[in-house]
Structure 1
Amino acid sequence: MIMSATKLLPLHHPDSLREPVRRVPRPANRRGLRDFDTVLRDEWSIDPESCRPLRHGQNLVFTARDREGNSVIVRATSPSHRSLRQLEAELDWVAWLDLVGVPVGIPIETRLGKLAVSVHDEGELFHVSCFHRIDGTIVSNESSERWTDDFIRLWGRMIGRVHRWTERYQPTGQSRYHWHEQPEWRLREKHHDLYHPGVLERIDELVARLKRTPRGRSYQVIHADAFTSNFLMRDDDLILFDFDQSMYCWRLYDLLVAFQMQYVFSYFIRPELNRFSVEEFWRLLLDGYREAAELDREELQLAESLLRLRQAVCYLVSKPEARKWAIIAGTSESAYLGAMRQVEESLLSDQPLLPVDLAEL
């Protein structure tokens, strides 16, 4: 995949995280869309030569600098992943959260007041958006001293603040999709032969069951990916970013994503959490959440189903591109595929994903 400011190998290639190769920008194409370099310069006053790869997942993310030397984040999204209107819906919500004082990664408008622009480069279409760069610290296993009771509560409180303020949010344009409309569901048709047929049947049963579940007042747009890779700590507060997975779902799902990435998705279980039992982590997360928002006991009864929903989405996204995700995770493809087999087993089993009842806790 090549963008005019930055030459990138396909994301599954081991060399895709190396330093970019520069070349001369391409002229405008016959579709009338400008190229990547031109859009960065004209719409955000960003120097294309300053772009450096930052992270690769379902989007291409770069660091860059604008004309005044400010550090910014540039995100390029394939239309096969998100439509321009869905991207605008995401950024509309994020801009509103910033307006009401929730600490988030703030999108930058273009000179014409847009939040995203389509570009055409090297025969491919992308949607580009930009954000102010956040100063802060990633809380990882390299900073295990930060994993305290107060940090887990703060994590829950951050999610609760987002939910509480979102109760008042009214989209200015198109709304984000609902959980069962995620573009990720299309992967099962595209890569059908790569998935375990029994797992797909169990996922279908789960989706049908959740579709019959009453939505209730806790059903709203949520972040849907609020784990440690998507927030930074600054001045004893957490700043949430990467709302790419945001969707309409039950609020409990956000808490379960935090939980799943720490205790359920086998490859990403965090060694720094060994001091926290499953019960202790969940109680601390809920305690923090309830300092900012309400969570009904009735909604907690959905915990196992929503945990399985998250596990299913991770499976559909990760299995076809295990090599790419293994590189991102810093492990071998065989080790990552081993984790995928464990995910398959968990989705095929009738046993709860965890040996404890989160609803009872």
Structure 2
Amino acid sequence: MNSWQKQFTLEHLAAAAACYGIAEHDISKFGGFENLVYAMKDNGRDTILRVTHDSHRTERQLQAELNFVAYLAEHNVNVCKPLPSPGGRLLERIPYEGGTFLLTAFEKAPGGHIHGGQSEWNDSLFQEWGRITGLMHECAVNYSVPAGEPDRITEDELPYQPTDASPAEEQLLYQAFKKREEQILRLPREKNSYGLCHRDLHHGNFYVHNGVIFAFDFDDCGYDYFIQDVAMAVYYASTFSQWSKPAASREETTERANRFLVGFMEGYNQIRHIDSYWMKQLPLFIEKRRIDLCAILWEEWGSGTQEQRHWLRWNIEGIADEQPCMDLEPGWF
């Protein structure tokens, strides 16, 4: 939990409810990680309230995100559209002595989460996952930022910069991340392979209803290589198909990844094509995400359950030895 999240009091929650004309008893905690997420009842309709802080995302960054999500919705991509407050604003503000809380309401997606172990976790889901990713990328190719409106973020940042006194593992992760980042920065940026991406479209950020995916949580969206979205899907489907049982075996992640890619790429190719040059970059982007996630989870999982500590140790040892977390079949390249 970010420090600002602890500063969001019941008084602030009551103010948020008032911004949307909602009774306090019609708003309840729903989830969240980087942001606070609440469920709201608006005249019987289920909606979602996201609370962020201007230290996490500026108003201009949020406006850029909302513009892109609205564009996707207008072009028949199943995303949760932003909803205006009764005052007609897509962004509401609650200033306080520690900064400003920024509020946005969204449609609530129909359906629910699907994960490994459920019958719906199958090739049809993987194909749909690829299809919606392809649709987003096809829209991004043709998207132009509205005149006078801001752009979204481009660079990733690790949650810390280690010092000489930092644990060796933190220093290792930082150097490994910077190495991959430098490799990626040398790649060409072309219209058909680089643009606005969701950048975090794992199965925690969409619901499935009657076999159809409805995507949400565009908090991390920004300019990136389209192959980044493919890497995120492959990594999470193979490593965290069940959130509570992360895979800590190269054989296991390899088998899952190659099976997943069959369906995913079939769906993606229905919309657009990724050439072999970019598919060859897929392992680089997968490793970048692996390192980034280890850095994010280092403090919490380093003192977590036995399974979490084992997963973290397996990954850090692999990163130190330059061993990939999975082996994709040569046919993908």
Q: Report the TM-score, using the length of structure 1 for normalisation.
A: 0.79
Partner of 1:85 in structure 2? 60
Partner of 2:14 in structure 1? 37
Partners of 2:178 and 2:96 in 1: how far apart? 38
**Which of 150, 160, 163 is the matching residue for 1:187?**
160
Partners of 1:190 and 1:62 in 2: how far apart? 37
Mark the CA change 1:318 to 1:190 in structure 2 (over 3 Å): closer, same or farther: farther
2:120 pairs with 1:146: yes
> Are 1:3 and 1:121, in contact at CA under 8 Å, matched by a contact in 2?
no
**Which of 137, 140, 147 is the matching residue for 1:166?**
140
- Of 77-86 and 241-250, the range deviating more from structure 2: 77-86
Could you give the per-residue CA deviations for residues 52-109 of structure 1, whole angstroms, max 9, x where no partner exists? 111131111111222x232211111133322222122112111111111111111112
> Are 2:238 and 2:256, in contact at CA under 8 Å, matched by a contact in 1?
no
Partner of 1:306 in structure 2? 285
Partner of 1:61 in structure 2? 37
SS in 1 for 2:207: strand
Could you give the per-residue CA deviations for residues 212-270 of structure 1, whole angstroms, max 9, x where no partner exists? 11122310111111111111112331111111111211111111111101224695349
Gaps of 5+ in 1: 6-24, 26-34, 327-331
Mark the CA change 1:150 to 1:77 in structure 2 (over 3 Å): closer, same or farther: same
Partners of 2:163 and 2:114 in 1: how far apart? 35
Q: Please provide the CA RMSD for this pair.
A: 2.9
The residue type equivalent to 2:185 in the other structure is: K
> Are 1:225 and 1:257, in contact at CA under 8 Å, matched by a contact in 2?
yes
> Are 1:301 and 1:359, in contact at CA under 8 Å, matched by a contact in 2?
no
Partner of 1:317 in structure 2? 296
Could you give the per-residue CA deviations for residues 286-305 of structure 1, whole angstroms, max 9, x where no partner exists? 11111112211111121121
Partner of 1:3 in structure 2? 8
Partner of 1:96 in structure 2? 71
> Are 1:84 and 1:118, in contact at CA under 8 Å, matched by a contact in 2?
no
**Which of 301, 315, 320 is the matching residue for 1:348?**
320
Partners of 2:247 and 2:95 in 1: how far apart? 39
Partners of 1:70 and 1:300 in 2: how far apart? 42
Mark the CA change 1:127 to 1:160 in structure 2 (over 3 Å): closer, same or farther: same
1:19-30 equivalent positions in 2, closer than 5 A: 25=11
SS in 2 for 1:62: strand
> Are 2:206 and 2:216, in contact at CA under 8 Å, matched by a contact in 1?
yes
The residue type equivalent to 1:119 in the other structure is: I
Partners of 1:112 and 1:191 in 2: how far apart? 51
> Are 2:200 and 2:229, in contact at CA under 8 Å, matched by a contact in 1?
yes
Partners of 1:239 and 1:63 in 2: how far apart? 17
Partner of 2:3 in structure 1? none
Q: Report the TM-score, using the length of structure 2 for normalisation.
A: 0.85
Percent identity at matched positions? 22
Mark the CA change 1:78 to 1:312 in structure 2 (over 3 Å): closer, same or farther: farther
> Are 1:262 and 1:269, in contact at CA under 8 Å, matched by a contact in 2?
no
1:190-229 equivalent positions in 2, closer than 5 A: 193=166, 195-217=169-191, 218-229=193-204
How big is the shift at 1:358? 5.9
Q: Matched residue pairs, number?
A: 319
